[in-house]
């Protein structure tokens, strides 16, 4: 397996593990602590972390087959940035961090969107593989 694909799959595993733990924490440790709106926001962050962690895993697998695909590398990087900015800012603000941290969420959302576009463009331009 090439290094970039392997690194993205390792990161995906870490992000997915964290999403699982944070989701469990929300459903068992934050009920009654956070109001319904904050708990829903936290849940949205967990959901998005799962979706994009799985997307990151898929990009890692594709990069193993197509290591020169620049758009796929960009997609993986944007998914990681999106998870940190979007999900991270929501986690922090719902747990009491200053509202200013929430200003990172839109940038993370944009990173997600552009990451999916990069994935689509990258997949559309992949060469036919001859094994």
| Structure confidence by residue, pLDDT tens digits, 92-126 | 999 999 999 999 999 999 999 999 999 999 999 99
Whether 130 is covered by a domain: the verdict is no
What's the pTM value of the predicted model, to 2 decimals?
Answer: 0.94
pLDDT at 1 over 90: no
| E strand map for the chain | none
pLDDT at 50 over 70: yes
Structure confidence at residue 70 (pLDDT): 96
Q: How many domains does the structure of the chain reveal?
A: 1
Whether 131 is covered by a domain: the verdict is no
- CA 55/CA 121 separation, integer angstroms: 15
Structure confidence at residue 123 (pLDDT): 95
pLDDT at 130 over 80: no
Phi first, then psi: give them for residue 37, nearest 5 degrees. -65, -45
Whether 25 is covered by a domain: the verdict is yes
- CA 47/CA 100 separation, integer angstroms: 22
Structure confidence at residue 128 (pLDDT): 80
Whether 22 is covered by a domain: the verdict is yes
User: Which of the four pLDDT bands, split at 50, 70 and 90, describes residue 35?
Assistant: very high
Residues composing the chain: 131
The parent domain of residue 83 ranges over 3-124
Structure confidence at residue 131 (pLDDT): 59
pLDDT at 43 over 80: yes
| Structure confidence by residue, pLDDT tens digits, 58-93 | 999 999 999 999 999 999 999 999 999 999 999 999
Whether 71 is covered by a domain: the verdict is yes
């Amino acid at each position: 397996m090439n290094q970039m694909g392997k690194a993205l799959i390792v990161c995906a595993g870490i992000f997915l593990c964290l999403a699982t733990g944070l989701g469990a924490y929300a459903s068992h440790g934050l009920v009654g602590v956070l109001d319904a709106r904050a708990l829903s926001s936290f849940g949205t962050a967990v959901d998005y972390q799962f979706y994009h962690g799985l997307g990151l895993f898929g990009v890692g697998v594709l990069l193993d087959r197509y290591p020169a695909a620049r758009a796929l590398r960009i997609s993986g990087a944007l998914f990681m940035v999106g998870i940190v900015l979007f999900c991270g800012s929501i986690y922090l603000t719902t747990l009491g961090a200053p509202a200013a941290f929430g200003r990172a969420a839109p940038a993370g959302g944009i990173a997600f969107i552009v990451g999916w576009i990069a994935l689509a463009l990258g997949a559309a331009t992949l060469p036919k593989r001859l094994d």
